[in-house]
Structure 1
């Protein structure tokens, strides 16, 4: 039985990587899925086709998370197209890794506009459009618990998302809406670029002895989106193989 049949989900930044895995996993569970992409329409349409292959409805919409008007339009359009929204997954994020002394104002704004400001207003839109009993799931990062050199701005932007979600979980509880976060560890996507020796060190440092895969993250999102997670609220779940 499809656990999310009849539900409508938005997954931002879902043309590749973790977002793609999340969108396809929700589609396999029977949800109607609207995905967003920044610029690669071809990849986004491939994700839509994959979801439709599972027998679920899907739609790809180009949207810029750092543009507040675009975010509000996104939620309105999905609600009007499918009649409701039950699940919102905030996956879009950008990172800049530089020593603190080299971070420019443009670097800072790029990261905080997308991650902190963009996600905040996506949460605001979700609070306005989600059906009672809905699910909001945001992607944080293991970097909020274990700092690394050059990662201060990125980690701080993700920590802001955590605080936004904790507050919102208290605000929406009376409507039966849960608000949770997932903090992935290092995950094997095409955006993972690091020297082979550093990668090997990470694998050896992980108790489960491997890198995370997008499906590892997507499976936990599917759980949080389901009725089985009805009593999980205001939490950050570390999905990292035990490395932290």
Structure 2
């Protein structure tokens, strides 16, 4: 019977330098991961990546940081090859990469749309492709999307719209990789208490989002706290392996499908 624990496993986390990705790396190290490859996008996040690597090593796991802009298929392929060469074939591959844009539909330029599509959809597609090629049998793959996939709201057409394809990528990959025992899931957090959220929102919108979830009164910020998302991701990439091909919204009752 396959071992679905975290202990002794090799992990690759795209966008693993900070915020949710960084906390996932620290959490999996604390739960016994053998090695974690931490991807970061650019020099601006190198210090965060180095700090996360140090924390992972302090927890007893091997760790490396790999810089890459994942908006080309070649860059994603290179990421996996470098991770395999340094820490081994991953048992767990998690993609937290994303870019948010809040803007009226009529004001979104072609260049903005192309960038959103490259970051949110294209990179996710090729991450799943390379994960299917490199993740060990009985492995786990998880992609971060957004709870806006279950919302009826203005201004997020480019963001939610370019995350939406990941739902079908996830279903297709789950069917194709399932014979090897690989589970494939997507997780859609609600608005999270990170700079990723605050950079796009005005004061009125922040105030609204802090009261919008059913469980907002019980949250320390009113928003989705990354500490509340991490245990679900840990479950999906371990004992929750029987859940596959699904997009799960983790948002305290912010929205549902």
TM-score, length of structure 1 as denominator length: 0.95
> 1:198: how far off?
2.6
Q: Does 1:38 align with 2:26?
A: no
3-state SS of 1:117 partner:
helix
Runs of 4+ more than 4 Å apart: none
The answer as to whether partners of 1:127 and 1:172 remain within 8 angstroms in 2 is: yes
CA distances 1:52-78 after superposition (whole Å, capped 9, x unpaired): 111111111001110221110110111
The answer as to whether partners of 1:23 and 1:33 remain within 8 angstroms in 2 is: yes
Which of 222, 225, 231 is 1:219 aligned to?
Answer: 231
Rounded Cα–Cα distance in structure 2 between residues aligned with 1:180 and 1:20: 19
Unaligned runs of 5+ in 2: 217-221
> 1:202: how far off?
2.1
> 1:82: how far off?
2.2
Which of 151, 172, 175 is 1:170 aligned to?
Answer: 175
Matched residue, 1:50: 55
Which of 134, 151, 154 is 2:156 aligned to?
Answer: 151
Rounded Cα–Cα distance in structure 1 between residues aligned with 2:5 and 2:136: 17
Rounded Cα–Cα distance in structure 1 between residues aligned with 2:124 and 2:25: 18
> 1:183: how far off?
0.5
Rounded Cα–Cα distance in structure 2 between residues aligned with 1:18 and 1:241: 17
TM-score, length of structure 2 as denominator length: 0.90
The answer as to whether partners of 2:100 and 2:196 remain within 8 angstroms in 1 is: no
Matched residue, 1:71: 76
Rounded Cα–Cα distance in structure 2 between residues aligned with 1:111 and 1:22: 24
3-state SS of 2:204 partner:
helix
Which of 203, 227, 233 is 2:244 aligned to?
Answer: 233
> 1:201: how far off?
2.3
The answer as to whether partners of 1:36 and 1:63 remain within 8 angstroms in 2 is: yes
Q: Does 1:125 align with 2:127?
A: no
Matched residue, 1:18: 20
The answer as to whether partners of 1:22 and 1:215 remain within 8 angstroms in 2 is: no
Matched residue, 1:112: 117
Rounded Cα–Cα distance in structure 2 between residues aligned with 1:94 and 1:54: 30
Rounded Cα–Cα distance in structure 1 between residues aligned with 2:115 and 2:88: 33
Report the count of equivalent residues.
242
> 1:147: how far off?
3.4
**Segment drifting more, 132-141 vs 52-61:** 52-61
> 1:199: how far off?
2.3
Rounded Cα–Cα distance in structure 2 between residues aligned with 1:127 and 1:139: 17
Rounded Cα–Cα distance in structure 2 between residues aligned with 1:82 and 1:187: 31
Unaligned runs of 5+ in 1: none
The answer as to whether partners of 2:30 and 2:59 remain within 8 angstroms in 1 is: yes
Rounded Cα–Cα distance in structure 1 between residues aligned with 2:162 and 2:177: 23
